[in-house]
Amino acid sequence: MHEKIVVTGMGAISAVGNTVQENWENIKNGVSGVGPITAFDTKDFLVKIACQVKNFNADDLLSSRIARRRDRYQQFAAVATQEALNQSELEITEENAGRIGVVLSTSIGGLVSLEENYLKIIKGGPRKTSPFLIPMLMPNGAAGLVGIDHGPKGPAFSISSACASGQDAIGVAWMMLRSGVLDVIITGASDALITSLAVAGFDRIGAMSRRSAGEITPRPFDKNRDGLVIGEGCGVLILEREQFARDRGANILAELAGYAATADAYHITAPTENGEGGSRAMRLAMEVARVNKEDIGYINAHGTATPLNDKAETIALKSVFGDLAYKIPISSTKSMTGHMMGATGALELVYCILALQNKVIPPTINYQTPDPDCDLDYVPNEARDLKFDVAISNAFGFGGHNSVLIVRNYN
């Protein structure tokens, strides 16, 4: 019998807030993070909107010397990690450092620094690049910097599985803790991809909404959905073995009960039409967590607002839950935060835990026109009070990656 793995701290940054509390207040109230892109000049772009993190000044939160040596995604990770550690009240010492690890992911890495420094080369030559460029680019950079900032000396690495990166990081951390070789893992993901290169690339494959600021978008599961809105942010969780957390008197927020991952082996960007990979991952995760489909009280859907994804996920949910699928509240918080790529799954697990604690189901905003292909209960436009004990978080990524986490109230 495996020991329970519990959550004792959380940190969050997104377009709707720079702390966990700010995120939750805006998520439950259906506040949209969409606005005009200010990170670069969109004059020649068809996409002009994004869900940018606001009022985030790294110099206010880190020293200016440290901030300028880190990519934006690494700055997010540093701040969210500090919030999570503060909530957990975990003290990292020489005695316990070797049994504390870091699994902190990103989908791509330091793309902001890549673009900035490439432009410096074009304009001024190679000596204009930052001497910290390579550490700023590294996908494992945020994980390594958490060790430098706080002192954990267990394994520290990053997992890259596109938009499933955050959930896979948490899932792998969960498995490592269950093995008993570590007591605590700082885990989650961070992404900052609102750059000209990323926006152009995602638009060229037809994944992005081209609506203007002020228009209603993104529209997950709505008949008139036209694509994702790119976001940025970070979610960090402190996971611990139950006994370790209890022995140190930690306040336990929830139990992370199950994890499963599958691959579609089908297409580099498109999901299978029947959602087979996603449905298989949900079934496996429930089997591992030892929960029945009747136990599930809420599902935080991947729900990107792309035509193919939302339809395939709906089919997958029906495949797993049958007629019960119509009775389970399902929502896409990407309707508010945008799609934060690898970071999204980590943030959405935070939202699941907050929903459990507060007995509130967050809404899917911008839902106006029902789609016959997407006919489940997507909690349209307004949050819903509901007491429940078990939630599922879905994350599906380019490359055919499917990742599912199950969280439940801690008793």
Q: Do residues 14 and 347 make contact, with C-beta atoms less than 8 angstroms apart?
A: yes
Distance, in Å, from the CA atom of 364 to the CA atom of 52, rounded to the nearest integer, reads 19
For the chain, the C-alpha Rg in angstroms (whole number) is 20
> 3-state DSSP call for residue 36?
strand
List Cβ neighbours of 104 (8 Å cut-off, separation of 6 or more). Answer: 77, 81, 142, 143, 146, 156, 158, 169, 186, 187, 188, 189, 190, 236
Amino acid 288 reads V
Closest CA to 340 of 237, 225, 188, 200: 188
Helix, strand, coil percentages for the chain (3-state, nearest 5): 40, 20, 40
The residues annotated with a catalytic role in the active site are 163, 302, 339
3-state SS class at 321: helix
Alpha-carbon distance of 82 to 88, in angstroms, equals: 10
Locate 15 and state its tokens. 């377009």
* DSSP, residue by residue, 87-133: HHTPPP-TTTGGGEEEEEE-SS--HHHHHHHHHHHHHH-GGGS-TTH
Q: How far apart are CA 397 and CA 403, in angstroms?
A: 8
Count of other CB atoms within 10 angstroms of residue 226: 17
Task: Report the alpha-carbon distance of residue 46 to residue 133 in Å, rounded.
Answer: 30
Residue whose tokens read 């939302």 = 310
Token reading at 67: 């901030």
